[in-house]
Amino acid sequence: MKIQRRNKANPEFSLAAMTDVILLMLIFFMITSSAANQSAIDVKLPKAGAVEDNIPNPLTVSIKPDGSYFVDDNPVAREQLESVIVSKLTGQTNKSFTIRADENTMHKDVVFAMEIAEKNKFNIAIATVKDK
């Protein structure tokens, strides 16, 4: 006579908890990746009528109204700006950078950064906000 056990171990397990964790991680990384592209340098970007969303450049040059320069949120003297940009873009496949200039920045400061790009054959983008 064969006696059957009433409490058999169930070898299956639920994937619901793992799915919840993966979904939460996906949401977390999507939110943090969108915030990672914003710069800590406070500049009021000029408004533009037609703005196309482009792929962000790996290097950002921010210019404040007082003429101070920042490369990737690090302060840089005007005399050292070209050498810092060239050293950061050496070895990059996409040799370009974005100029984030405050709307009250002097034109000569923006042109100085543009001349560096022209001299070294770098592509540039000017950051703006969409006019509402």
Flag whether the pTM goes above 0.75.
no
The better pLDDT of the pair 10, 54 is held by 10
- pLDDT above 80: residue 124: yes
Which pair of structure tokens corresponds to residue 72? Answer: 């990737």
Please provide the average confidence, as pLDDT, over all residues in the chain: 81
pLDDT of res. 70: 93
pLDDT tens readout for residues 43-97: 666 666 665 655 556 788 999 999 899 998 899 999 999 999 999 888 888 888 8
Residue 37 and residue 56 in contact, taking contact as beta carbons nearer than 8 Å: yes
Under DSSP, the state recorded for 103 is T
